[in-house]
């Protein structure tokens, strides 16, 4: 329900106009896509996480 409401909001002309008037860019990513990215991140092997944490 919340995902649907947000998806509709970012298509609303008044919302988009307000964002443009404030020089804000809207780069909407659907909840399903965000969920997939997070899920994949949790599936990384521990040794890869250690390397990433230690990268500078």
Check: CB of residue 26 under 8 Å from CB of residue 10: yes
pLDDT band, residue 13 (cuts 50/70/90): very high
pLDDT of 32: 93
pLDDT of 56: 76
Compute the mean pLDDT over every residue in the chain, rounded to the nearest whole number.
93
C-alpha to C-alpha distance for 32 and 10, rounded to whole angstroms:
15
Query: How many domains is the chain built from?
Result: 1
Check: CB of residue 42 under 8 Å from CB of residue 48: no
User: What's the pLDDT tens digit per position in 23-46?
Assistant: 999 999 999 999 999 999 999 999
* Residue 13 belongs to domain spanning: 2-54
pTM score over 0.75: no
């Amino acid at each position: 329900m919340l995902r649907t409401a947000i998806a509709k909001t970012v298509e609303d002309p008044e919302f988009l106009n307000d964002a443009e008037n404030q020089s804000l860019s809207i780069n909407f990513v659907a909840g399903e896509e965000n969920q997939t990215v997070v899920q994949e991140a949790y599936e990384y092997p521990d040794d890869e996480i250690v390397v990433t944490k230690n990268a500078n």
